[in-house]
């Protein structure tokens, strides 16, 4: 039933937005080979960072690999961060939620995220020791596809998106809406449920994310200062004028168990 509803919503979105805007881009690299950031064997493209522990110090095994699948337990706050910086790419991620959640979010919506264009020092955001500065493409029950500048409040960390005239728990992406630039807060994906309550297991009527335990495909297409966000083949958010527009990529640990079986970066022309 859920998959059938997702296909229906994808059709409705393509009709309302125009196929040229809403159609997922599946062309492979046009100027480089696929980079398997996660090679299913080890974390050779990454370093681990955990709050209060620093780099490559993971005694509780927050980041582990088994049978070609990466598990991020969520038990401690941090990022699995690439050694290299990247720009102009299509990032293809396949993920699914696990069952475990941890304090203080054991009853909250399962939460994680993908850091894009991350720069500066580990844990620098707000001086709390959790995250780098950059752009977050959220992975959270009910809000996967939300976009957030994770910065210092300046225009050095900002983005612009077309938004609906009516707020739904904040600004909501609408392809033909009015442009809005933010350096704080978030741009919600177009289908975020107005009754979202932040509770574990939440699902809205428009949600594209599959049930807990099912694999999802998350595609993030970064070209220049533009970012297109697709969830299971449907465009859910879009931003322009991204600052910064290049940097490291990170996978977040934030209180919920999550698994990844694919993290591929495909270089794209600007």
Structural domain spans, the chain: 2-267
CA dihedral over 84, 85, 87, 91, signed as positive or negative: positive
Read off the pLDDT of residues 52-98 as tens digits, 9 standing for 90 and up.
Answer: 999 999 999 999 999 999 999 999 999 999 999 999 999 999 999 99
Nearest CA to 76 out of 97, 99, 105, 38 is that of 105
pLDDT of residue 210 exceeding 50: yes
Yes or no: domain 2-267 corresponds to CATH 3.30.830.10: no
Angle (nearest 5°) at CA 194 between 237 and 218: 30
Read off the pLDDT of residues 134-149 as tens digits, 9 standing for 90 and up.
Answer: 999 999 999 999 999 9
Position 31 confidence tier, pLDDT thresholds 50, 70, 90: low
Alpha helices in 93-240 (DSSP H): none
Of the listed ranges 31-35, 116-120, 227-231, the least confidently predicted one is: 31-35
Read off the pLDDT of residues 222-262 as tens digits, 9 standing for 90 and up.
Answer: 999 999 999 999 999 999 999 999 999 999 999 999 999 99
Q: Would you put residue 206 in left (φ > 0), alpha (ψ -120 to 50) or beta? A: alpha
Q: Distance (Å, rounded) from C-alpha 115 to C-alpha 36? A: 17
Q: Are 216 and 232 in contact (CB under 8 A)?
A: yes
pLDDT of residue 154: 94
Position 32 confidence tier, pLDDT thresholds 50, 70, 90: low
Q: Distance (Å, rounded) from C-alpha 231 to C-alpha 235? A: 7
Angle (nearest 5°) at CA 71 between 67 and 75: 150
Q: Would you put residue 105 in left (φ > 0), alpha (ψ -120 to 50) or beta? A: alpha
pLDDT of residue 19: 30
């Amino acid at each position: 039933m859920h998959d059938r509803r997702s296909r229906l919503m994808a059709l409705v979105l393509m009709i309302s937005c125009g196929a040229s805007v809403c159609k997922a881009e599946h062309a492979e690299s046009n100027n480089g080979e696929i980079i398997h950031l996660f090679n299913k064997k080890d974390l050779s493209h990454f370093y681990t960072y955990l709050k209060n522990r620093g780099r490559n110090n993971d005694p509780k095994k927050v980041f582990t690999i088994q049978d070609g699948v990466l598990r991020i337990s969520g038990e401690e706050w941090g990022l699995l961060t690439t050694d290299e910086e990247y720009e102009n790419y299509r990032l293809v991620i396949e993920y699914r939620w696990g069952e475990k959640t941890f304090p203080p979010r054991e009853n909250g919506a399962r939460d994680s995220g993908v850091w894009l264009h991350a720069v500066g020092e580990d844990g620098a955001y707000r001086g709390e020791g959790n995250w780098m500065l950059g752009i977050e493409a959220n992975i959270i029950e009910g809000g996967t596809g939300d976009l957030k500048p994770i910065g210092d409040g300046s225009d050095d960390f900002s983005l612009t998106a077309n938004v609906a005239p009516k707020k739904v728990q904040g600004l909501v992406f609408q392809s033909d809406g009015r442009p809005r630039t933010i350096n704080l807060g978030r741009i919600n994906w177009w289908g975020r449920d107005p009754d979202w309550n932040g509770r574990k297991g939440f699902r809205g009527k428009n949600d594209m994310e599959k049930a807990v335990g099912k694999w999802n495909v998350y595609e993030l297409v970064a070209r220049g200062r533009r970012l297109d966000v697709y969830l299971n083949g449907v465009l859910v958010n879009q931003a322009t004028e991204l600052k910064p527009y290049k940097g490291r990529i990170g996978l977040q640990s934030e209180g919920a168990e999550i698994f990844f079986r694919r993290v591929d970066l495909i270089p794209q022309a600007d």
